[in-house]
Structure 1
Amino acid sequence: MIKMKDVWKTYPNNVKAINGINISIDKGEFVYVVGPSGAGKSTFIKMMYREEKPSKGEIFIGDTNIGKVKERQVPYIRRKIGVVFQDFRLLQQLTVYENIAYALEVIEESRDVIKRKVMDVLDIVQLKNKARSYPSELSGGEQQRVAIARAIVNSPELLIADEPTGNLDPDTAWEIMDILDDINHRGTTIIMATHNKDIVNTIKKRVIAIESGRIVRDEVRGNYGYET
């Protein structure tokens, strides 16, 4: 589903963030991306949803070389990719329902389809009773669940989670992992950048470790491998 072929990323200040990465991730996999701060994890993740473009090499999502996609086509590519961030990024003036519905309104779905899809994903993240609440009325864990619901409401083939438990207490982090694991079992490919050693070592998945912009370890059911 995802292929990187000899991918390099150099920023304008001549900082090399990614150095010749080759990787393949199959449909339906759950992959942790780990490594020390400044290793290149964020750049690795951002290139998958075209927040960043590779300086050299090719990145394929399915049959699409996203490095070659024109800027006006990027929003259409992102409809197939859900992204969850550490800081939630919810619209504070909108209710939970409206935050999720917004992702469907921009692609001009009908009102009936929007209502059905929003309530379906709220069921998945166990927040149907919070549909009319505002983000300020929710706990951090609840806000992250809303963010996940928004990311999957378009039924993306790929969900990218960038430190999704980073701002959460341990108990809430485990609840979020249960939801992500459930989404993965429904067929969505998940790539998750994380510093959470306990989660990686307990919920065994494929582990890709990045250091100095290079993949130094790629293990099925791997361990975190770093001190925290």
Structure 2
Amino acid sequence: MIEMTDVSKVYKNGVTAIDSLTVKIDQGEFVYIVGPSGAGKSTFIKMLYREEKPTQGKIVVGKFDLMKIKEREVPLLRRYVGVVFQDFKLLPKLTVYENIAYAMEVVEKTPEQIEKRVFEVLNLVNLKHKARMFPNELSGGEQQRIAIARAIVNMPGILIADEPTGNLDPDTSLEIMNILEEINSQGTTILMATHNSQIVNDIKHRVLAVENGRIVRDQLEGDYGYEA
């Protein structure tokens, strides 16, 4: 569950990125975040995993009150909130297996637990056969699938996907969406920031449209609503 109440974010240069925003997202929802460049989408999602701190308001993510959370608790929050980035952020000197395993090693899982879970998520993204390869040996779509596997390996309650199809062709984008749909069907809440109008229009979910730091449209089974 995500609840933001009267949240604002003003940067030191005086720019207001988020302006008195209030929204609630229930566990298990799949929500698109859309809007023009500079609308505040990135700040909106960065606040959910404490990459940015709000200037005012209240943010609750699962059991975490982000206005009261201590710095030592932030790693716990980030186990609960998985993040997938447009540029993958894979570690180039580690194999596919090692990239995913690393996310479990930092939370001190046993080698047996790690091996079992890593191959579970590799199966989910259909890349078990690439476990010993390095990121530069993979296509962009394969790298994104590995990034998703890494983000969900610790079974987060929420998965944030920031433009996960931004650098991918339509067929590969559809593969990524199928994986996200499967993850969502297992109970994980998904927030996906995107400019991909075709995906939003074809694969219907709740749409939050952000403009000038405010939610201007909150629509179940919504459309993209902007010029492609």
Cα distance in 1 for residues equivalent to 2:117 and 2:25:
28
Query: How far apart are residue 60 of structure 1 and its match?
Result: 0.2
Give CA deviations for 1:48-102 in whole Å, capped at 9, x if unaligned.
Answer: 0110011000100123211321222111111111100000000000000000000
Matches within 5 A, 1:78-227: 78-227=78-227
Q: TM-score, normalised by structure 2?
A: 0.99
In structure 1, what is the equivalent of residue 18 of structure 2? 18
Give CA deviations for 1:10-42 in whole Å, capped at 9, x if unaligned.
Answer: 000000000001100000000000000000000
Runs of 5+ unmatched residues, structure 1: none
* DSSP 3-state at the match of 1:36: coil
Give CA deviations for 1:102-149 in whole Å, capped at 9, x if unaligned.
Answer: 000011100000000000000000000000000000000000000000
Cα distance in 1 for residues equivalent to 2:171 and 2:5:
38
Cα distance in 2 for residues equivalent to 1:148 and 1:63:
23
Cα distance in 1 for residues equivalent to 2:67 and 2:135:
35
Q: TM-score, normalised by structure 1?
A: 0.99
Matches within 5 A, 1:42-57: 42-57=42-57
Amino acid in structure 1 at the alignment position of 2:191: I
Runs of 5+ unmatched residues, structure 2: none
Identical positions, percent: 66
**2:88 is aligned with 1:65:** no
After TM superposition, which residue ranges in structure 1, 4 or more long, deviate above 3 angstroms? none
Measured on the aligned residues, the alpha-carbon RMSD in Å equals 0.6
